[in-house]
Structures are given as C-alpha cells and as structure tokens.
Amino acid sequence: MSELAQAKPLRIVFVNRMAAMERGGGETFDLEIARNLAELGCDITFLAGRPVVGRIRLPLRGLRHRLIRSPYFGWFPWDKVKGGWRLRVADFTAFEWRAAQWILRHRADFDIVQLCELPNVVVFCKKGPAAKSLPRFVVRLTAPNYHDPRGGIPLADGLIASGTSVAKLHARGQTRVVDVPNAVDTERFRPHSSAFRKRAGIPLEALLLLYVARFQDFKNHAMLVRAFDQAARARRDLHLALAGSGPLLPRIKEQACGTQTGDRIHFLGEVPFETLPDVYAAADIKVISSDYESFCFAAIEAMASGLPIITTDCGWTPGLIGDTLPPIEQQWVSGDRDPPSGRFSDERDSARIRSVPGGLVTGRNDHESFAAAILALASEPGQRAAIGAWNRQKAVREHGWRSSAERLLCYYRQLVTQ
C-alpha cells in the first residue's frame, strides 16, 4: 500500500455546475480524478446542478452526490448573441450562491472543496457571516480567461490547471497555479470491436470521421461541416459523426442540411460517458476543428482508442500528437483566427498542412486545408493504422489518471497541513 493510501483519508467535495447535464473537459476531469482519488482512499462527494424545470440529463450513478436546483440556460447561444454572456453569468452565479450555502451548512464534513472554476463560491463562503473553520478551497482554472469579478481566485487556498493554461496563468502573475495534467483511462478507451455503427445506422463499409465536442463557437463545427462537404463530394464512402450538445447545435444542423452531403453527417447528441469508448472504437479518424484548446480531452481519448488525428493548429492539441512547434499563444477570444506566419511551409489555404507522428495539423479556420487533410489520410489505410498505433502507445505511456490523482492528493495534503 502506498504512503498516500496509508495516510488519513481526505474528505473531498467536488463542485461542478454541469456534471449532471453535460460532459466537457471540466466534467471529465472531475469525474475521472475523483474516481482515482477514491481508489487512493479519499472520501468523495459531488455537488452538481439540476434545472429548476426539467430533468437531469446525465445521472451521477455510483457517486455520492447532491443536486442543487437552479436556473439552466445551457440551450441559449450565449457566445453568439450580443450580451448573451450576461445570462450565462447569471445562471452560474445562482448555482454558486446555493452551492455556497450548502457548503457552509456542511463545512465540518469536508477537508477540501474542489471547484471547477466557480470562484464566486469562494467569495460567498469566505466573506459570509458563517465563514468559520472552513475547509480548503481549490479552484481548477479550465482556461486563462476566467471570469472572476468578485475576486474569488485570490481568496482560494489552491489553484490547479493543465495544458497551455498553466504557462499563461504563470505569465499573468498566477504563480500559485499547480499543473495537474489531464489524462485518460486507457483501459476504458482502447481499440476494440464495437457495435456502434449498427446501432447508429452508419454503413459498416464507411470511412467514419468523429468529432466529440460541445456545439460552441470556438469548437468551429461550421468550418468542419464545410471541410467535410468538400471532401465527401470527392469520396462517397466518407461519413461524419458529431457527438455532443450545445447552443449552436440547431444552427449546425441547418448548415449540414444545406450541403450536398448532409445525409452523411450523423448528429449523435449527448453521448453517455460509458458509451463513448464504443463510439471512438467505431471511428477511423478523429477530427478536431477548434480555434483554441488549452488541452483537449477528446484528443487523448482518441489517442488511447488508437485513432489517427486531424487537428487545427489549436493550442495544446498538436503537441499531444507529437508536433515539435510550441503552442500558439494567441487566445481564441481575441477574435483573430489566423495563426502566426511561418507555422506552415506554404501559407496558402489548402496548403497549410503539416505531418506529425500522431496525424495531421492544419491551419485554423481553413476548411480547404482541412478537407485536403481528410482526403490525404482517407486514402492511406496503412498510414492510418501506423499513426493510430503510435497514438495508443503515447497515451498509455504518458497520460494515465493515477499519476495525476497522486499529484493532486499530495497537493491537497500540503494545503490541509498549512
């Protein structure tokens, strides 16, 4: 038994607004790291949100949890409507207030409060009249452009992040941030026989592209649909599966219906995490069309599943698949989607492609280059197999959850003894 497992078990509550409703990078991190912390002897509870009207979409089976009712506007395209961010902020603030009241009532039951951002929870707890003998508050920053108008981040006892966010946060003065890398369960995500295509009505002989991402602006599904349409008109065996939900889903469905190849685009909706490994195992190529990614869970899930990857030059993701160029430092929120010059030997659209050990990297928001990359990998089954095998080996070697959980547990123990 390890020294970490022998020590007094820590009592940890993970506070994640969306854990029972969506699966993004923040939710995946919390659920997987919590599972591994439990295996290391920690006592785990989840505190998540549920809509005032309607039902939760993703039950937290097998986890001790409490669900807090609060408004839910996840259906609203806040990142595409002027001023829409205010509705999102109001949505999260209502949850943060109620979560803080629950934590204050149960503060003696926990040693650590692990927050998926939600800095207002720290403010509401530490500046309230009942703020005595509180547990330690640790905030995970999912991106460097976090929203913290009340100043909760400086009040947190600990900060963690991963990917490009760590260096950017350090450069901005957040030197307390500790790197706890994202990871993947390589036993769950692995190459295996899958019946997913039959269930989804996708031809067994199709060459299937897969994108797992929320339908939000920076994921750039619109560019991917344009690229797929161009490539699929050249190859009739190409199909595209889009897994996820989000405010831009109706718009992308409308765009797909207006293409010549829309009947070969499959919208899977929100796929339960337990089902995702079968979806990856049924695919031939993983595609990532984002303008920016601080890490990208979907990339390492695809790597562990033995898939080759086509990705835009979006932050950390190219480095995951062996790119030797440093990540682009520009943030997607700047509004400038064009990468710095010199990252490709030819800067023309349709020519911005570079080969890396784990796949192909293209220019951001460049549907012509992305289409050319799709056709290039589609025509080389032997190359796809070799690239997929390289990705699988790298995922197993470098991206396991246990090491990340042990690192986080050591950090927790430092905080509670201070």
Q: Are 205 and 238 in contact (CB under 8 A)?
A: no
Q: Going by C-beta distance under 8 Å and a sequence separation of 6 or more, which residues neighbour residue 11?
A: 42, 43, 45, 109, 110, 111, 112
Locate 73 and state its tokens.
């506007």
Predicted local distance difference test score (pLDDT) of residue 52: 79
Q: Are 174 and 159 in contact (CB under 8 A)?
A: yes
Q: Are 313 and 296 in contact (CB under 8 A)?
A: no
Predicted local distance difference test score (pLDDT) of residue 3: 53
Topology (CATH) of 196-398: Rossmann fold (3.40.50)
Strand (E) or helix (H) holding 19? none
List of E strands, 109-150: 112-116, 136-140
Predicted local distance difference test score (pLDDT) of residue 341: 61
Beta bridge partners of 160: 140, 178
Written out in words, the top-level CATH class of the domain with range 3-183+400-416 is: alpha beta
Predicted local distance difference test score (pLDDT) of residue 200: 94
Residue ranges in the chain whose pLDDT is less than 70: 1-6, 74-76, 78-79, 131, 329-342
Strand (E) or helix (H) holding 269? strand 265-269
Locate 398 and state its tokens.
């470098």
- Domains of the chain by residue range: 3-183+400-416, 196-398
Predicted local distance difference test score (pLDDT) of residue 141: 94
Same fold, 3-183+400-416 and 196-398: yes
Q: SS3 breakdown of the chain: % helix, strand, coil, rounded to 5?
A: 40, 15, 45
Q: Are 405 and 324 in contact (CB under 8 A)?
A: no
Predicted local distance difference test score (pLDDT) of residue 395: 94
Of 266, 203, 281, the closest CA to residue 237 belongs to 203
Predicted local distance difference test score (pLDDT) of residue 161: 94
Predicted local distance difference test score (pLDDT) of residue 2: 52
Amino acid at the residue 54: G
